Structure 1
Amino acid sequence: MKIGVPGEIKNHENRVGITPSGVFELVKRNHTVYVQKDAGFKSGFFDDDYSDVGAIILDTIEEVYEAATMIVKVKEPIEKEYELIKPHHLLFTFFHFASSRTLTEAMLRSGSVCIAYETVEEEDGSLPLLIPMSEVAGRMSIQEGAKCLEKPVKGRGILLGGVPGVPPGKVLVLGGGVVGVQAAKMAAGLGAIVTIMDIDMKQLRYISDIMPKNVTTELSSEYNIRKHIKHTDLIIGGVLIKGAKAPKLITKDMLKDMRPGTVMVDVAVDQGGCFETTKATTHENPTYIIDDVVHYCVANMPGAVPYTSTLALTNVTLPYIVKIADAGWKKACEQDKRLAKGLNIVNGAIVYKEIAETFNLDFKTLNDL
Structure 2
Amino acid sequence: MRIVVGIDAGSSKTRTLVAEVEERAEVLRVIGAGVVRSRGIRRGVVVDASEAAATVAESIRLAEESSGCAIERAYVGLSGAHVATVGSRGVVGISARTDTVSLPDAERAVEVAQVAATSQGRSPLHVIPHRYVVDGHDVGFDPVGEQGAVLDVETHVVTGSTEAIGGLVAAVEAAGVEVDDLVVSSLAAGGLLLTAAEYEAGAVVVDIGAGTTDIAIFDDRSIWHVASLGVGGEHITADVAAGLGVEVDVAEQVKIRHGHARAGLVAPRERFDLPSSNGGAAGTVHRWKLAEIIERRARAILSMVGEEIERSGRSRGLAGGVVLCGGTALLSGLVDL
Q: TM-score, normalised by structure 1?
A: 0.27
Q: Which has the higher contact order (CA 8 A, sep 6+)?
A: 1
**Structure with a larger share of its residues in helix:** 1
